[in-house]
Structure 1
Amino acid sequence: MFTGIIETLGKVTNLEHDKGNLHITVMSPLSNELKIDQSVAHNGVCLTVVSLSGTTHTVTAIEETLNKTNLGGLQIGSLVNLERCMQMNARLDGHIVQGHVDQTAVCTSFKALDGSWEYQFTYDGAKGNITVEKGSICVNGISLTVVGSSLNYFSVAIIPYTFEHTNLQHVTEGATVNLEFDIIGKYVARLMQR
């Protein structure tokens, strides 16, 4: 389990295709602290560390993951948001995040405001996922508060710290991001369908 509070950015240094899998090597300040078989969220996707080498670590994304996330679009030099799994005695500063991406969204608008930034995203509402104003949403692994919401659209406001310390600084109109909807909201929606 994760919180959506990004620890650091990592830079993709190698991509290796192996049948339907993609081995992703990332250089980061966290890499030398990781262990083999540890879970680390990469852009909100929970992946297992499979190898370590100094300041880099490698994880593997299977075809299912590549089909449902933006990881298949990574390139050498891409920045990824990184978060290690939450410790049981830690504070939950963001919200409950599983590292299981529900679907992707496209950035339809990005604008700088006076001291903050606003992003608008659209997603396929037919998949049954919803957002609510002032509710939580996880975008590329970042726990954010929804500002505006409709059936297949939501917006978020970004403070300078989040903008500077995550890969949102590189998200522009047309970019694809990973979404994990609020787990409590998903259970409530499922119960209402019954």
Structure 2
Amino acid sequence: MFTGIIETLGEVGKLNREGSNLHITIKSTLANELKIDQSVAHNGVCLTVVSLNGNTYTVTAIDETLQKTNLGNLAVGDKVNLERAMILGSRLDGHIVQGHVDQTGTCTKIEEKDGSWVFYFEYDASKNNPTIEKGSITIDGTSLTVVDSEKHAFSVAIIPYTYEHTRFNTYEVGSVVNLEFDVIGKYVAKLMSH
């Protein structure tokens, strides 16, 4: 379980394919605080630490994860949003994030507005993942509030702190992002469909 509050950015140091698996080695200031078997969200995808080496650690993404997320598009040197699992009893500053990406979306427009930014995204609505205005959405692991919502698109406003400390400063029109829709909204949508 995560909160969607990004702790730091990591950098992809090495990618190693083994069958359909991808071993991802990340350089991060968090590495010396991690332990093997610990869960860490990478662009919102919960992955298990399988090895540690100084200021780097390695996680493994299976084929299903690579097919449903943007992790298969990673290249050495890419920045990755990182968050360790939530500590029970701490404040929940973002919203409940499972680390289970529902689908990807594509950035369609970026507007600078008086020192902040509005990012617009589209996604495949046939998967029945809802957004609602002022509801929660997770983009590459970052907990955000939906500004405008349509059946297949939404926008979010990004403050300078979030822009500087997450992958948002690397996005451009056409960037593919991981989307995890609000867990409560998903349950309500499922119940309403029956």
Same fold per superposition (TM over 0.5): yes
Q: Is 1:122 aligned to 2:126, yes or no?
A: no
Across the aligned residues of Structure 1 and Structure 2, the Cα RMSD in angstroms comes to 0.4
Q: Deviations over 1:118-153 (max 9, x none)?
A: 100000000000100000000000000000000000
Aligned to 1:28: 28
SS at match of 1:96: coil
Aligned to 1:44: 44
CA distance in 2, matches of 1:87, 1:94: 13
| TM-score after normalising by structure 1 | 0.99
SS at match of 1:172: coil
Q: CA deviation at 1:11?
A: 0.3
Unaligned runs of 5+ in 1: none
Q: CA deviation at 1:184?
A: 0.2
Aligned to 2:159: 159
Aligned to 1:176: 176
Amino acid at match of 2:124: D
Aligned to 2:62: 62
Q: CA deviation at 1:115?
A: 1.0
Unaligned runs of 5+ in 2: none
CA distance in 2, matches of 1:115, 1:81: 22
Count the aligned residue pairs: 194
CA distance in 1, matches of 2:20, 2:111: 37
Q: CA deviation at 1:57?
A: 0.5
CA distance in 1, matches of 2:43, 2:31: 16
SS at match of 1:65: helix
Q: Is 1:140 aligned to 2:140, yes or no?
A: yes
CA distance in 1, matches of 2:62, 2:32: 24
Q: CA deviation at 1:103?
A: 0.0
Amino acid at match of 2:128: G
Q: CA deviation at 1:35?
A: 0.2
Identity over aligned pairs, percent: 66
CA distance in 2, matches of 1:3, 1:117: 22
SS at match of 1:77: coil
Aligned to 2:89: 89
Q: CA deviation at 1:89?
A: 1.0
CA distance in 1, matches of 2:5, 2:32: 20
Q: Deviations over 1:71-121 (max 9, x none)?
A: 000000000000000011111000000000000000000121111011000
4+ aligned runs moved over 2 Å, structure 1: none
**Greater mean alpha carbon deviation, residues 3-12 or residues 107-116:** 107-116
Aligned to 1:188: 188
